[in-house]
Amino acid sequence: MSPAGQVRDWLDERFGWDDLVAFIRHKTVPLHRYSYWYYLGGITLFLFTLQVVTGILLLLYYRPTPSDAFGSVQYIMTQVHFGWLIRSIHSWGANLMIFTAFAHMFSVAFFKAYRKPRELTWLSGIILLFLVLGFGFSGYLLPWNTLAFFATTVGTNLIGQVPLAGPWLLTFLRGGADVTGATLGRFFAFHVALLPGLATAFLLTHLLLVQRFGISVPPSLEPAWQAKPPAEREIRFFPNFMLRELMAWYLALGALGTLAALRPWGLGTKADPFASAPAGIRPEWYFMFMFETLKLIPARVGFMTGEALGVLVFGLAAVAWTLLPFLDRGGTGRKRRWAAGAVVFALGYVVGMTLYGYLVMAK
């Protein structure tokens, strides 16, 4: 027997390697004209892994103190061999990951894949999305440049508008009354310890649930799909789906490498807490739709401030969105169209407000 075969037997004896291989061989993915949307989750997973790897590499040189943070990122970008590449991939990858996560979520929402029995898959996915946004928000501050400093000041201020818990949350996030070195320390802890821990736990849950309940076929395609001959209904997960997924990963990596080499992520200027805020502070693009909405709400509405109202409305919308599988329990007719309408509205609103924000800024 070959050495490789011996290793395989050894593993098989210990935890049933052959069963595992057989299991993977039997796993299938539905095939229909929207199958390509199924790759988004995998791409997001790949990008997350890439973030973990590049993040760990960045940790080797990064220093989370107000005096050294900016300098150490500058050092990574200019002195360390290929430091520019690692950091640029981390920054571009983060943005791409958030984009694919959003796309994945909306594809699931359109295909109504959140319906019974996959409510918990949706729930764990939404939690992952919030965690990913938390990664973005906390990571943005870490280079300690002017724009990040003021964007964090504004962003945490908005969180401070949350009814009842706002002031407490504000102090908790900032580690004090203002954005200072204490905030940097906290955001660093959130970004490299707290959030990765939570994200890993929810990611495993999410994958386990996906595995448990399989991949759903959109209800609208179901009759046509059922009508197909059985051999054309599904493709095998391994190797057919996996090789395609691998192709997508390579393409994503190629795109990130190109962005990193041609448009290395900028550094800005070192944050000066005593300087006045620069013009045109704006959040990262994925918070833009909320930021723009809050700007459009009048300063006072009834008994509450416009910001508090906006934060409240967004909070309620987020809760409703999270509970989508429980609000839309399937059924037919008007009820079904209601859920689809809500998803279209949500997507339209997010895309529309984001574009509006950038067009207003561009003026």
Partner 1 sequence: MEARVDSTQITDAWWRAPAALAGYLFLLALVLGMAAPTTARAQAAKNSCLDCHSQLPPPLQVKPEEYNQSIHAEKGLTCVSCHGGDATKADMTAAMSAAAGFRGHVNRTGIPKLCASCHANATYMRGFDPSLPTDQYSKYLTSVHGHLLAKGDTNVAVCTDCHGVHDVRSPSDPRSSVYPLNVPGTCARCHANAETMKAYKIPTDQYASYTASVHYEDLVKNGDLSAPTCVTCHGAHGATPPGVSSVVNVCSTCHVFQAQLFDKSPHARAFLAAGLPGCVTCHSNHRILQPTDAFLGTGKGSVCVNCHAPGDPGYTAAAQIHSSLTALQASIDRSSAILARAGSSGMEVGPAELELSGARDDLTKARVGVHNFSAPAVEKETQAGMGVAQKTYQAGVAALAERDYRRKGLGISLGVIVLVVVSLWLLIRSIESRNSLEAKK
Partner 2 sequence: MREDKSNPTQNPERRRFLEVLLGTGIVASLVSFFYPVIRYLIPPPSTDLGSNTVLAATVGELGINAGKIFRFGDHPALLVRMADGNYSAFSAVCTHLGCTVEYRPDLREIWCPCHNGKYDLHGRNISGPPPRPLTEFQVNVQGKDIYVSRTAAT
Site of interaction with partner 2 (CB under 8 A): 57, 60-61, 63, 66-68, 70-72, 74-75, 79-83, 85-86, 180-181, 250, 253, 273-274
Contact by Cβ (8 Å): 291, 357: yes
In three-state secondary structure terms, 104 is helix
CA distance 40 to 16: 31
Q: How far is the CB of 220 from partner 1 (least distance, A)?
A: 26
**Smallest separation (angstroms) from partner 2 to the CB of 75:** 5
Q: Which does 180 bind (CB under 5 to 8 A by kind): partner 2, partner 1, none?
A: partner 2
Instruction: Output 175 or 264, the one with its CB closest to partner 1.
Output: 264
**Distance in angstroms (rounded) separating the CA atoms of residues 89 and 147:** 20
Which residue, 83 or 325, has its beta carbon nearer to partner 1? 83
244: partner contacted, choices partner 2, partner 1, none (Cβ within 5-8 A by kind): partner 1
End-to-end CA distance of the chain: 72
CB of 185 to partner 2, least distance (A): 11
Whichever of 244 and 336 has its CB closer to partner 1, that residue is: 244
Where helices occur in 163-305 by DSSP H, the ranges are 166-174, 181-189, 195-213, 222-227, 230-233, 242-262, 288-296
Residue 15 token pair: 């935890």
Q: What's the residue count for the chain?
A: 363
Round to whole Å and give the CA distance between 252 and 247. 9
CA gap 278, 148 in Å, rounded:
11
Which tokens hold the place of 360?
A: 């207003």
What separation in angstroms does the CA of 320 have from each of 121, 161, 313, 343, 346? 16, 20, 10, 11, 11
Min. distance of Cβ 348 from partner 2 in angstroms? 39
Helices (H) and strands (E) in the chain, counts: 17, 4
Strand partners, 300: 305
What is the smallest separation between the CB atom of 254 and partner 1, expressed in angstroms? 4
Q: For residues 50 and 85, which CB has a smaller minimum distance to partner 1 in the complex? A: 85
247 binds, among partner 1, partner 2, none (CB under 5 to 8 A by kind): partner 1
Interacting residues toward partner 1 by CB under 8 A: 77-79, 84-85, 88, 231, 239-240, 243-244, 246-247, 250-251, 253-254, 257-258, 261-262, 264
Q: What type of residue sits at position 244?
A: R
Which lies closer to partner 2 via its Cβ, residue 171 or residue 269? Answer: 269
Q: Which is nearer to partner 1, 162 or 235 (CB)?
A: 235
Q: What is the largest CA-CA distance in the chain?
A: 80
Q: Which does 67 bind (CB under 5 to 8 A by kind): partner 2, partner 1, none?
A: partner 2
Copy the structure tokens of residue 53. 């790897």
| CB closer to partner 1 out of 15 and 274 | 274
Residue 250: CB minimum distance to partner 1, A: 5
How near is the Cβ of 231 to partner 1 at its closest, in Å? 5
Q: Calculate the CA dihedral of residues 163, 165, 171, 174 and round it to 10 degrees.
A: -70
User: Which of partner 2, partner 1, none is residue 86 near (CB under 5 to 8 Å by kind)?
Assistant: partner 2
User: Quick one: what does residue 70 bind among partner 2, partner 1, none, with the CB cut-off 5 to 8 Å set by partner type?
Assistant: partner 2
